[in-house]
Chains A and B, each alone.
Chain A
């Protein structure tokens, strides 16, 4: 037991250090491995050294190891196989698994309490335990079903859905769930009401994420991530287990701050994201004021010509680049242009792609040098002296409506001001609006020309055009 305490202490320290190292580029990878090592020690220690209040070791080893092996194999294979573009969904999915795990623990512990009652034992004075079980169940379930919806939205299988008055229905549902929970605590855990709470919390998770627009999913995932942390901490309360408590609260707090930081990157408040102004208002906004007009197309050879003879080209990558897995082709184009004496840089919007930092991860995969990636403020300065801006599948992050149209759902979001460059070439697959479902006036401006097609194919063709020119 004493050794187990040391194991837990050690693991808690690795979690704190790991998180600290994860927030600096140079140490991030080591930080992750350190936290993983701490986790391994905590798990192994629990399996072999845990003694319950009667001093008995754990049983059911075949089940424990079976679960660990199955989960371990699936987890490793899925995490290794997933494409870089699908990372955000993956994080959401794993987060949901953690939430479900916390909810199941609560269900089993509650079942255990009911057995005690059935055996005639009094559970007077265990209100604290019941409270922790109920809260762990509610938060874990919301996190699970919410993450699954976020996962579905990110991979495109679930569309945004909302109805009038949904906010009010949601609040009532949440209140009802909490009241039921309070009732179970007062009733000292009798009855099967907990399963009703389980169902209500699952439903709330679905209703909570459903109306929030796809572009806001990173914020939602980060928030649900901190929820799962809190659910894990309730497990720590339940077993008086310090490592679950520290790990859970640590993630709960860090996750909340990260959520706020992400909101700041989009210049929106968390409240604004959650009440779903994106989801609710945008349907009306985009139908009433669809920007219409004519756009002009540019041919591949013309585009290659324009870029080949430019002094400075800025590339604005977006989700389209990620979807087409075009990061290597993009780096190819950059090299060809640099060989021709063109200065090439990348303008990275903090929320381009589907998660903050998504573009940096992808371009790093293609070995694009770090110093070529400009953050938004620097990029906006550089656009003024740029000849050609090449937009690769980015849309909302370059939409001027964010600055000019107060009715637009993205109004107020800082954008890349590509209009200050001399010419803008936009590559996208069709004229369909972007992820947030908003028309983009940029495409209809005289200095903009459209280059339709899959980002990867277009880039490869541009490379061969420029090479042969």
Chain B
């Protein structure tokens, strides 16, 4: 019990972030129309690509002689980049089509 309370106290900043971000995440997309479900999912998918930062840190900290760490880290950077770049580009392609529709609407 004592250790748990101690852990909470030392990590309170992180715990606050987790709780508040949880609410922000829910509130922020609360009223999304179903039309936008797919692009929103795709956009959120790109945002969790932020895991790439962890991959970059792992890669940059790997000792030059540790081939396992180098290989896995390298793979992690590639996969993370795929997630970020692919995610944002696909989302943009989807939304580009909605934009075309908007223009059409204004000219009619």
Contacts and interface: CB of A to CB of B under 8 A. Distances in A.
B94 to A, nearest CB: 5
Interface string B62-92: 1010101110111111111111111111111
B34 interface: yes
B76 A367 contact: no
A124 interface: no
Interface of A: 11, 15-16, 18-20, 22-26, 28-29, 31-33, 35-36, 39, 42-43, 46-47, 50, 52, 57-61, 63-64, 66-68, 70-72, 74-76, 78-80, 82, 84, 87-88, 90-91, 93-95, 97-98, 100-102, 104-105, 107-109, 111-112, 115, 128, 218, 221-222, 225-226, 228-229, 231-233, 235-258, 261-262, 265, 350, 355-358, 360-361, 364-365, 367-371, 375
A252 B25 CA distance: 8
A98 B79 contact: yes
A68 B77 contact: yes
Main secondary structure of the interface of A (DSSP, over half): helix
Given A26-B102, A29-B98, A249 B17 contact: yes
Given A25-B36, A104-B79, A232-B51, A75 B74 contact: no
Given A229-B44, A241-B57, A244-B50, 9 more contacts: A23-B28, A28-B39, A71-B85, A94-B83, A105-B55, A108-B72, A254-B26, A255-B25, A364-B100
A310 to B, nearest CB: 23
B86 A250 contact: no
Contact of A19 (B17, B47, B68, B79): B47
Given A23-B32, A64-B77, A262-B37, A231 B95 contact: no
B78 A67 contact: yes
B100 to A, nearest CB: 6
Given A94-B83, A229-B44, A32 B92 contact: yes
Given A28-B36, A32-B43, A98-B80, A60 B101 contact: no
Interface of B: 7, 11, 14, 17-18, 21-26, 28-62, 64, 66, 68-70, 72-102, 104-105, 108
B41 A94 contact: no
B97 to A, nearest CB: 4
B50 A59 contact: no
A249 B21 CA distance: 6
A60 B70 contact: yes
What are the nearest 4 A-B pairs in CB distance?
A: A58-B60, A71-B81, A253-B25, A67-B77
A109 B100 contact: no
A90 B85 contact: no
